[in-house]
A and B are shown apart, each in its own frame.
Chain A
Amino acid sequence: MDDLVRRYGDLTAVDGVSFRIAPGETYGLLGPNGAGKTTIISMVAGLIPADEGTITVLGQPVGPTRIAVKRHIGLVPQELAIYPELSGRENLTFFGRLQGLHSKDLAHRVDEVLDLIGLTDRAKDATKEYSGGMKRRLNIGIGLLHRPTLLILDEPTVGVDPQSRNAILESVEALSVEGMAVLYTTHYMEEAERLCDRIAIIDAGKFQAEGTRAELIQLTGEVDHISLSGSGAIPAAAEAIRALPAVQQVDADRHTLVLTVRDAPTAVAAIVTAASTAGMTLSDLEISRPDLESVFLQLTGKALRD
């Protein structure tokens, strides 16, 4: 996607956005409601044309009248885009036929997807009788039924209970393993951190920053902190920890050591071992890391959920 622009009257909803997604990569669009995420997705899915810029999937241009390329794209819209009067199997079969899947292959693929989204037992029930989480899973299943090259997921966990949400996130993680390119929009920082290989932070229609989680956090200049509390040889422990290469700074008082470190999850094991060996008995350990929320706050001057 190169230099995408989309205007609604005087409002520029998307302003010069560019990005690329490789096979097997999960690319996240992280931003608050109204940032322009859904407009970008609508253009990439070929629902609306871009006023400026180009979109290509597998080298083919994308747009509302570009029919052939849509076979390579799967869309999971934010709304539950399923028919309540039809069963789960009928919904999948209906959209599978429109995608061009033929009888035998379609029936086999529908069974596979029902199994993948955990709805085999309820396949014959009308979806109006499904729970919210089951509808969300079916909504995703329809999007990946035809094995698209690019799967677009627009806030797929909105309004979902924690258990279903976890199941959905696990499904998405499995897709990238299969080599599918995934474009994932969310305003939940935890989801973007967990799923996305690269993340674009978007606000007011513009990309504020783009990169891996570590690259984005580096932009803030913030670092990880580990706080150790306990008794025993505190000064000796401080000296031992200070000697570790990942540790940048150690501040000590009578019972607590506050450490500034690079990549706390990796360094924590060596730190605990050093403290114990030096004679410190640990009673508490706390890790604090800068997250995408703080990146967003620093880049836009507002919180992600504003």
Chain B
Amino acid sequence: MSRTDLRQLWTMTASDLRQRIRDRSVIIFALVVPLALMFVFNLALSGMEDVTLDTIDVAVAMPDGDQLAATLVDAALNSDAVEVNQTTAPADEVRELVRSGEVAMGIVVPEDFSEAVTSGRETVVDVVEGDQAGLESSVVVAVLQAVLDRFAAGTVAAAAGAQLGLPPEQLAVLAEEAATAGPQITLTEGETSNEQLSSSANLVAGQAGLFLLFTVGFGVLGLLAEREQGTLGRLRSMPMRPGLIVAAKGLVSYILGVVATSVLLVVGSLFFDVSFGSPLAVVALVLCVVAAGVSLMFIIAKVARTAEQANISQSIFAMVLGMSAGAFFPITASGALGQLMDLNPIAAFMRGLGITSGGGGIGDIGTPVLIMLGFAAVAAAVSRIVPDRGAGR
């Protein structure tokens, strides 16, 4: 590229940037709207996080001397999740206490509970919820269900032992051990294996990624607006290589994308007390995701016939890619859909930020970087192949 080429490239880029800043739409779309959404969603999320659970009154009926029943009730009512005022009463009275509103919920463990569990026979623990039941009773029920599931595992272990020919005394011991033992598998979180962003960090990263796809449109999609207003024809009549016009638009998109995404991450970090970790790694992620976004815009610029069509296509792509990446709330998918969603450059960007916020450095973000650069390369290749549908206008 000669000095004249560079001079003309910068002349077009600088002029375009000046116009974008003057018409203020890029500032509104790239910075004001995403920051406003961050604040709104953060308020909503912080409201959810501040939920406090009240003490709940629970009446319990269970057989005397039944060890498994006692374990079940103890686990359900003495968990750290919710504080419980426990009242012990006969089964009929438990239901009456719930009906009268004296307690919020009742638990009735049947007389033959231990025997039924160890022998693999079906048994039912009754849970009665009254009008006062709320989130607290749901928590108790969830814990109760988890303990019952573990007891069911014990029953399965006993059945397996019977098939192996163990004597009845050993089967009972085996079933009880399986039902009451703690978990044998534990998860240790390594620093770089943690790809989960906190809710605030997810919000900042998601909004930055989503609105990046709007921001980069201000450069490349300007080609269609210039075609409609006639300035593209005049530019093409200038003594310069035709490719410089497209290159300048791409450069404008890239500069706007990098600046806007960086500002959103920095401002979001400051306002929401979020750290994305290694600045070098974060910069690398930003450069890669902007490259992917700009390449996508080149496809839209070729496929759309008018600026209006391009803007609609851009919005659809931004919302689909942004939302499927979890810009507003986490989304998970398995199978082919999950693999497809893994190729989403915004998702890769957020995953990369998850790695860096967990302490990962530039050497740990290889996969998301490859996904974003791969997306950029494929999109750029496709944009060169697809016919320019607006060229005849």
List residues of A whose CB falls within 8 A of some B CB.
8, 42, 45-47, 64-65, 67-71, 73, 75, 77-83, 85-86, 90, 94-95, 97-100, 126, 142
CB distance from B387 to the nearest CB of A (A): 14
Contact present for A77 and B234 (CB under 8 Å): yes
Complex CA distance for A81 and B227, rounded to whole angstroms:
10
Asked whether any CB of chain A lies closer than 8 Å to the CB of B240, the reply is yes
For the complex of A and B, list the 4 residue pairs with the smallest distance between their C-beta atoms, beginning with the closest.
A79-B230, A81-B230, A70-B239, A81-B234
B residues near A69, Cβ cutoff 8 Å: 239
Given the interface contacts A47-B236, A142-B234, does A97 sit within 8 Å of B7 by beta carbon? yes
- A82's nearest neighbour on chain B, judged by CB, is B231
- A73's nearest neighbour on chain B, judged by CB, is B237
Given the interface contacts A47-B236, A75-B237, does A83 sit within 8 Å of B231 by beta carbon? yes
A residues near B239, Cβ cutoff 8 Å: 67-71, 98-100
Given the interface contacts A70-B238, A98-B240, does A8 sit within 8 Å of B392 by beta carbon? yes
Chain B CB within 10 Å, residue with most, of A86, A97, A98: A98
Contact present for A67 and B240 (CB under 8 Å): yes
Contact present for B234 and A86 (CB under 8 Å): no
Contact present for A86 and B233 (CB under 8 Å): no
- With contacts defined as CB atoms under 8 Å apart, how many contacts are there between chain A and chain B in the complex? 71
8 Å CB contact of B8 from A68, A83, A98: A98
Chain B CB within 10 Å, residue with most, of A95, A126, A142: A95
Contact present for B4 and A79 (CB under 8 Å): no
Q: What string of 1s and 0s marks CB contacts (under 8 Å) between B211-255 and chain A? A: 000000000000000000111011111111110000000000000
- B23's nearest neighbour on chain A, judged by CB, is A85
Contact present for A83 and B19 (CB under 8 Å): yes
Q: What string of 1s and 0s marks CB contacts (under 8 Å) between B1-41 and chain A? A: 00010011001100100110011000000000000000000
Contact present for A79 and B237 (CB under 8 Å): no
Contact present for A77 and B8 (CB under 8 Å): no
B residues near A79, Cβ cutoff 8 Å: 229-230, 233
Complex CA distance for A69 and B238, rounded to whole angstroms:
10
B residues near A45, Cβ cutoff 8 Å: 237
CB distance from A205 to the nearest CB of B (A): 17
Complex CA distance for A79 and B8, rounded to whole angstroms:
23
**Interface hits, B101-127 → A, CB 8 Å:** none
Given the interface contacts A77-B230, A85-B22, A85-B23, does A97 sit within 8 Å of B11 by beta carbon? yes
8 Å CB contact of B234 from A85, A95, A126: A95
Complex CA distance for A67 and B22, rounded to whole angstroms:
32
B residues near A64, Cβ cutoff 8 Å: 236, 242
Contact present for B242 and A65 (CB under 8 Å): yes
B residues near A46, Cβ cutoff 8 Å: 236-237
8 Å CB contact of B11 from A65, A67, A98: A98
List residues of B whose CB falls within 8 A of some A CB.
4, 7-8, 11-12, 15, 18-19, 22-23, 229-231, 233-242, 392
Chain B CB within 10 Å, residue with most, of A8, A68, A80, A100: A100
CB distance from B152 to the nearest CB of A (A): 70
Complex CA distance for A107 and B236, rounded to whole angstroms:
23
B residues near A42, Cβ cutoff 8 Å: 233
- A76's nearest neighbour on chain B, judged by CB, is B234
8 Å CB contact of B15 from A73, A94, A142: A94
Contact present for A80 and B230 (CB under 8 Å): yes
CB distance from B25 to the nearest CB of A (A): 10
8 Å CB contact of A97 from B8, B23, B230, B233: B8
A residues near B12, Cβ cutoff 8 Å: 98
Given the interface contacts A65-B242, A67-B240, A98-B240, does A81 sit within 8 Å of B229 by beta carbon? yes
8 Å CB contact of A85 from B11, B19, B241: B19
B residues near A80, Cβ cutoff 8 Å: 229-230
CB distance from A153 to the nearest CB of B (A): 13
Contact present for B230 and A86 (CB under 8 Å): no
CB distance from B81 to the nearest CB of A (A): 59
A residues near B15, Cβ cutoff 8 Å: 83, 86, 90, 94
- B11's nearest neighbour on chain A, judged by CB, is A97
- A68's nearest neighbour on chain B, judged by CB, is B239
Complex CA distance for A97 and B18, rounded to whole angstroms:
16
CB distance from A64 to the nearest CB of B (A): 6
CB distance from B187 to the nearest CB of A (A): 56
CB distance from A148 to the nearest CB of B (A): 10
CB distance from B5 to the nearest CB of A (A): 10
Contact present for B235 and A98 (CB under 8 Å): yes
8 Å CB contact of B19 from A67, A70, A73, A86: A86
Given the interface contacts A83-B19, A97-B11, A98-B11, does A75 sit within 8 Å of B234 by beta carbon? yes
Complex CA distance for A10 and B19, rounded to whole angstroms:
41
Given the interface contacts A45-B237, A80-B230, A81-B230, does A100 sit within 8 Å of B19 by beta carbon? no
CB distance from B56 to the nearest CB of A (A): 63
CB distance from A47 to the nearest CB of B (A): 5
Complex CA distance for A3 and B18, rounded to whole angstroms:
44
- B235's nearest neighbour on chain A, judged by CB, is A98
What are 20 A-B contacts defined by CB distance under 8 Å? A8-B392, A47-B236, A47-B237, A64-B236, A64-B242, A67-B241, A69-B239, A70-B238, A80-B229, A80-B230, A81-B230, A85-B18, A86-B15, A90-B15, A94-B11, A95-B234, A97-B11, A98-B235, A98-B238, A98-B240
A residues near B229, Cβ cutoff 8 Å: 79-81
Complex CA distance for A97 and B13, rounded to whole angstroms:
13
B residues near A95, Cβ cutoff 8 Å: 234, 238
Contact present for A81 and B11 (CB under 8 Å): no
Complex CA distance for A303 and B236, rounded to whole angstroms:
34
- A96's nearest neighbour on chain B, judged by CB, is B11
Complex CA distance for A68 and B7, rounded to whole angstroms:
16
CB distance from A237 to the nearest CB of B (A): 58
Complex CA distance for A74 and B19, rounded to whole angstroms:
24
Complex CA distance for A64 and B12, rounded to whole angstroms:
19
CB distance from B293 to the nearest CB of A (A): 24
CB distance from B241 to the nearest CB of A (A): 6
Complex CA distance for A67 and B236, rounded to whole angstroms:
10
A residues near B235, Cβ cutoff 8 Å: 98
A residues near B238, Cβ cutoff 8 Å: 70, 95, 98-99
| 4 further contact pairs, Cβ within 8 A, besides A8-B392, A64-B236, A79-B233 | A47-B237, A64-B242, A67-B239, A94-B15
